[in-house]
Amino acid sequence: MLSLREVLLVEGTEHKLNVDVKITLLTKVHQRLLTETQKEWYMDVLDEMEVSGVCARVPADYVKCVSSTNLQPKDAGEPGMSRDEIVMRINELCREAGLPPYWKRVSKEEETPDTEIASESNTPQKRTPKKPRW
């Protein structure tokens, strides 16, 4: 992986956004606050980006739009683990810890989002997604 200082800028290139001036963009970020450790890391990354010429400081009144920040993005183009891979990984970690597998799998023909069940009970459990804390 390259550091920002190893990336060379191409002379004469410029990134331009074609945004309609009539559109109202968000100027308030709805994001939970960074922890002190995250803040220190993030400020160091921003300083490195500024030194490398990737970004520059601007006055606040120049900012037209802001969005939330993801401090741990997925690799470009990678969708992440599938649901089956996650279930298999959980079972693998249980076995490594000396526990029985948590998820029992049913046959592919019968499988729906509600048919995976915890091995401790024999009744299907519907799971509802948790709401974010922020």
Instruction: Say yes or no: 30 and 63 in one domain.
Output: yes
In a domain, 36, yes or no: yes
Cβ contacts of residue 59 below 8 Å, gap of 6+? none
Q: What is the pLDDT of residues 94-123, one digit of tens each?
A: 889 898 887 776 434 334 444 444 444 444
> What is the domain range of residue 99?
83-118
Instruction: Say yes or no: 56 and 91 in one domain.
Output: no
77 band by pLDDT with thresholds 50, 70 and 90: low
Alpha-carbon distance values, 81 to 76, 86, 88 (Å): 14, 6, 10
Residue predicted with more confidence, 67 or 46:
46
Residue predicted with more confidence, 7 or 134:
7
Instruction: Say yes or no: 31 and 57 in one domain.
Output: yes
- Number of domains making up the chain: 2
**24/117 Cα distance (integer angstroms):** 46
**123/111 Cα distance (integer angstroms):** 14
